[in-house]
Amino acid sequence: MASPLTLEILQQLIGFDTTSANSNLELMAYVQHYLAEHGVNSHLIHDEAGQKANLYSTIGPADKPGIMLSGHTDTVPVTGQKWSHDPYRLTLEQDRGYGRGTADMKGFLAVVLAAVPDMVKAPLHTPIHLAFSYDEEIGCIGVRRLIDNLAELPIKPALCIIGEPTEMKVVTAHKGKLAAKVTVTGKEYHSGMAPFGVNAINYAARLVCWLEQLAIWKRNQGPFEEGYDIPYTTVHTGTMQGGTALNIVPNHCEFMFEIRNVAAEDPHRLLSDFRDYAETLVAEMRRTAPDCSIDIELTTEYPCLSTANDSDVVAFVQRLAESDGCHTIGFGTEGGLFSNVLGVPTVVCGPGSMDQGHKPDEFIEISQLGLGERFVARLIEQLSPPHGENE
């Protein structure tokens, strides 16, 4: 079971609607006040508009590399979902805690914050860092400012543990993601004289078909990476809009696609091949109308996570989780940025399951919060001298 303090903090965190479209500053003010009550300093790294912020704090000696516990504060919307519980109020029912963000991932944040009093009391010989971010759900955007800030510090963390919901399994790998918006500009004309126009939808469809053929090629030819349910790079078109009326040759169409790549695949090489194909279509379009174009805008990108299963940091986290296995996940995290950009070894391990994330009536098993509490308690013990010994 989870402690009353963890549930109390989780109730507070769920009460803040930190959908990515909203500010997270009220939640961060609550966290900063809570930390200050326990004598812990923290600082915020704001976005350009000053409406959102990352938080970073260190407990223990500041002159040594420490263990960073990382999580995002934003959540996905509840718009259009049918909830039987208030999404912004923690509801305890049948050994579950319901509410938006309980699993993804305010449950982890509550577990970490509830352990702060014990962190402060412990004679830590290695510091514990808290790193809470914004706008993870829309492309791991906010954490990049935090990473820029950490890169300037003289001492970086020795290990990052991201508490995304993995049912406390130790995750060492996930795919990267590259997403782009494609805008096709054609030439409108009366549909009765369609050959005099340039049909933007038709050219967009040819681009989508090219992407579908690429997806089939990846499925059949790889490269393949063991451990994933889908062990190859996937290519997916998610949205498409175009045209105004059936009797008008459409002059505009846009769509969005994504590439989720395994570690052995360079998604930018695939994007370059796609751009080359688009250029051949532009040349064809301009033989009819010289103002036609195809614009490809990169909208989101984060790298894959690939931490060696036999590394010391993985063995350390396995001991904390009391688990010998290494796992992969099908969703992305900020882990690839911490690992690839900041150069900090990273694993993912947290309470709850993403099977409940992003859905109506999102919940976390109370027993999972208890496992998270024991994980953090073991971390504090590992970073403190044995009982009866002085540093």
What phi, psi does 207 have (nearest 5°)? -65, -40
Q: Is residue 389 part of a domain?
A: no
What's the CATH number where 229 sits? 3.30.70.360
Is the same domain home to 21 and 152?
Answer: yes
CA distance 155 to 57: 14
Is the same domain home to 155 and 20?
Answer: yes
For residue 243, what are the domain limits? Answer: 176-302
Number of domains into which the chain is organized? 2
Q: With 90 as the cut, is the pLDDT of residue 324 above it?
A: no
Q: Note the pLDDT tens digit of each residue in 109-141.
A: 999 999 999 999 999 999 999 999 999 999 999
Last residue of a domain, one of 271, 287, 302: 302
Q: Note the pLDDT tens digit of each residue in 209-241.
A: 999 999 999 999 999 999 999 999 999 999 999
Is the same domain home to 62 and 155?
Answer: yes
Q: Which two tokens stand for residue 316?
A: 């350390």
Q: Note the pLDDT tens digit of each residue in 363-387.
A: 999 999 999 999 999 999 999 988 6
Q: With 50 as the cut, is the pLDDT of residue 194 above it?
A: yes
The per-residue pLDDT for 386 is 81
Q: Note the pLDDT tens digit of each residue in 195-208.
A: 999 999 999 999 99
Mean pLDDT of 23-30: 98
How many residues are given for the chain? Answer: 391
Q: Which two tokens stand for residue 228?
A: 């994933």
The per-residue pLDDT for 388 is 47
Mean pLDDT of 79-103: 96
Last residue of a domain, one of 249, 284, 302: 302
Is the same domain home to 23 and 161?
Answer: yes
What's the CATH number where 14 sits? 3.40.630.10
Is the same domain home to 277 and 164?
Answer: no
Is the same domain home to 104 and 78?
Answer: yes
Q: With 90 as the cut, is the pLDDT of residue 390 above it?
A: no
387 CB-contact burial (10 Å; exposed 0-12 / middle 13-18 / buried 19+): exposed
Q: Is residue 387 part of a domain?
A: no
Do the Cβ atoms of 162 and 104 come closer than 8 Å?
no
The per-residue pLDDT for 389 is 55
Is the same domain home to 222 and 158?
Answer: no
Mean pLDDT of 247-262: 98
The per-residue pLDDT for 391 is 45
CA gyration radius, the chain: 24
CA distance 182 to 203: 11
Q: By percentage, how much of the chain surpasses pLDDT 70?
A: 99
Q: Note the pLDDT tens digit of each residue in 36-65.
A: 999 999 999 999 999 999 999 999 999 999
Q: Note the pLDDT tens digit of each residue in 135-180.
A: 999 999 999 999 999 999 999 999 999 999 999 999 999 999 999 9
Is the same domain home to 121 and 234?
Answer: no
Is the same domain home to 264 and 167?
Answer: no
Q: Is residue 27 part of a domain?
A: yes
Do the Cβ atoms of 222 and 214 come closer than 8 Å?
no
Is the same domain home to 166 and 182?
Answer: no
Last residue of a domain, one of 275, 302, 329: 302
Q: Is residue 70 part of a domain?
A: yes
Q: Is residue 388 part of a domain?
A: no
Is the same domain home to 150 and 11?
Answer: yes
Is the same domain home to 18 and 31?
Answer: yes
Q: With 60 as the cut, is the pLDDT of residue 275 above it?
A: yes
What confidence tier does 1 reach under pLDDT thresholds 50, 70, 90? confident
Q: Is residue 391 part of a domain?
A: no
